[in-house]
Amino acid sequence: MNKIKIAKGGSALAKGVIAVILLAITNLSAVAQSADTLSIDQAIKEAVDTHPTVLQATEALKAADARIALSKSNYLPTVDGVATVSHIGPVPSIDFGGKSFKMAPDNSYNAGVNVNQLIYDFGKTKNGISAEMQSKNLAAITIEQAKQRIASSVVGTYLSLVYLQKSKDIKDEQLRTLRSHLDFVSKKKATGSATEYEILTTKVRISNIESQRSDIITSLGVQQAVLNTLLGREVGSPIAVSKSIPANQANVASDSLAQYAFANRNELKAASEKATIEEMKYKLAKLQKNPSLSFFANGGVKNGYVPYLNDPKLNYVVGLSFRIPIFDGNRTANNATIAHTAVVSSGYETEAIRRSVSVEVAEANLGVDAARSKIIQFEMQQQQAQKALHLAEESYKAGAITNLDLLDATTSLSESQLYLIKARIDYCNSLYKLKVALGERLY
C-alpha cells in the first residue's frame, strides 16, 4: 500500500486525509473478524434451505411421486364389498295344479366381494406412468430453478450491502475530514488568515455529505430488510455482511460459452423435459382408442334360489371383459390434435429459450469485460488523484492554493476510491451473472 508523506507542519486537513486513503484502498477481500459476520456462501445456503419458494417446489416433487404411484395403481386389482337388501312387489309367480309358485322372494338379500383386474390395455397405462415419471424429472428441475433464482437474489442484495457499507465508511471519513477542516479554517479566520466564504463553503460541503450519508443509510436499511426476508429472518434483524467477495471466473473458453450454457441451463433442461412430456401425452391421447382386457370375479351369499327362495346360498361369478371403443364423439381425435399442437409449441418454446440464453450469455460476458476495464481505469484515476493531492499539499504549503483547493483534491481522491470500490463490486456481480447465464450453480 502506498503511503502519502505529510511534511512537518502540514495542515490538519492533510493529516485527516490519511484516514480516508487508508480506508478506501483497503482490499475488498479482507476477511471479517466478527463471529456474527455472514459470508455470501452462508447467506445463499440459509436462503436456499428455508425459502418458501424452494419448499413449495419440493412439495411438488412429492406430489409427482404420488401421481406416479396413482398411475401404477391401474396394474393393481380393485376390490370392493357390496351388500344389498331389496323388497319387490308384486312377486312374480306361476300357477300350476291349482297352486301358486313364487319365482322370487319378497325380500332379497345379497352380500359379496367384487374383484376387477386389468390384464392388458395395449400401452395406455404404461405410457401414462412414463409421462408421470418425466413430470417428476421436470419437478426436480423446477426445484433447481427456484434455488438458482433465490441464490441470485441473495448475491445481488449481498453485494449491494457490501458497497453501501463501504460507501458509508467513506462518507464518515469525509465528514471527519471536513469537520476537521472547518475547525482549522475557523481558527484561521480568528487570526484573519481565512474568510467567511471558506467557512460557509465547508459547511455546505458538510451538509451535502450528510445528505448523501443519510440516503446511504436508508438504502442500507432497505437492503438489509430484503436480505433478512430472503433468509427468513425478522425484517428488522441486524445483519453484518463479510467484506470478502468470493467470485471466480468461469473456466470456460469464451468461444464456447453459448454451447456450455445450452448444456447446463436449467431452463433448457426444463424445456426439453416439457417437450418429452408433451410427446408422451400425444402418444397417450392416440392410445385411448385401443381396447382393454380385464378380469372380473364376484363371490358371496344371497337368497332367491329355487326351490328354497329364502335360504341363503354361496355363489360366485368369474369372467373376462373385453372393451373396445367404437365411437366416442371424436373425443380421442380432438384430444390427439390438442396434444400434437402442444408438442409443436414446446419446440418453439425451446428455441425461444435458446435465443434468450444466447443473449444473456453475451450480455453477461460483455458486462464482465466492461467491469474489468473500469477497474483498470479507476485504479489509474486513483493513482492520479493521490498524486494530485500530494501536489496540492505542496502547493498549499507554498501558499499557491487555498484551503478549498486542497479540499477539492481531497474530495477527488475520496470519489475516485468510491468509484474503484463500485467497479470492483460490479465486476464481482458481473461474474456471478455470467455464472447464472452459463447455468453454473450459485448454491
From first to last of its 443 residues, what are the pLDDT tens digits of the chain? Answer: 333 333 334 444 444 444 443 444 344 344 334 447 899 999 999 999 999 999 999 999 999 999 999 999 999 999 999 999 999 988 888 888 778 888 889 999 999 999 999 999 999 999 999 999 999 999 999 999 999 999 999 999 999 999 999 999 999 999 998 999 899 889 888 888 778 888 899 999 999 999 999 999 999 999 999 999 999 999 999 999 887 665 566 666 666 899 999 999 999 999 999 999 999 999 999 999 999 999 999 999 999 998 889 999 999 999 999 999 999 999 999 999 999 999 999 999 999 999 999 999 999 999 999 999 999 999 999 999 999 999 998 998 888 888 888 889 999 999 999 999 999 999 999 999 999 999 999 99
Whether residue 2 is contained in a domain is answered as no
- Terminal Cα distance for the chain, rounded: 34
Whether residue 443 is contained in a domain is answered as no
Q: What is the domain range of residue 117?
A: 12-438
Which CATH number covers residue 287?
1.20.1600.10
How far apart are the C-alpha atoms of 442 and 428, rounded to whole Å?
13
Q: Which three cell numbers stand for residue 55?
A: 419448499
Q: How many domains does the chain have?
A: 1
* Cis peptide preceding 307, ω within 30 of 0: yes
Whether residue 324 is contained in a domain is answered as yes
Kind and range of the H or E run holding 63: helix 52-72
Whether residue 7 is contained in a domain is answered as no
Whether residue 379 is contained in a domain is answered as yes
274-289 as b/e: b if 16+ CB within 10 A = bbbbbbbbbbbbbbeb
Whether residue 42 is contained in a domain is answered as yes
Whether residue 380 is contained in a domain is answered as yes
How far apart are the C-alpha atoms of 168 and 23, rounded to whole Å?
11
pTM assigned to the model: 0.79
Whether residue 6 is contained in a domain is answered as no
124-143 as b/e: b if 16+ CB within 10 A = bbbbbbbbbbbbbbbbbbbb
For CA atoms 115, 119, 121, 126, the dihedral sign is positive
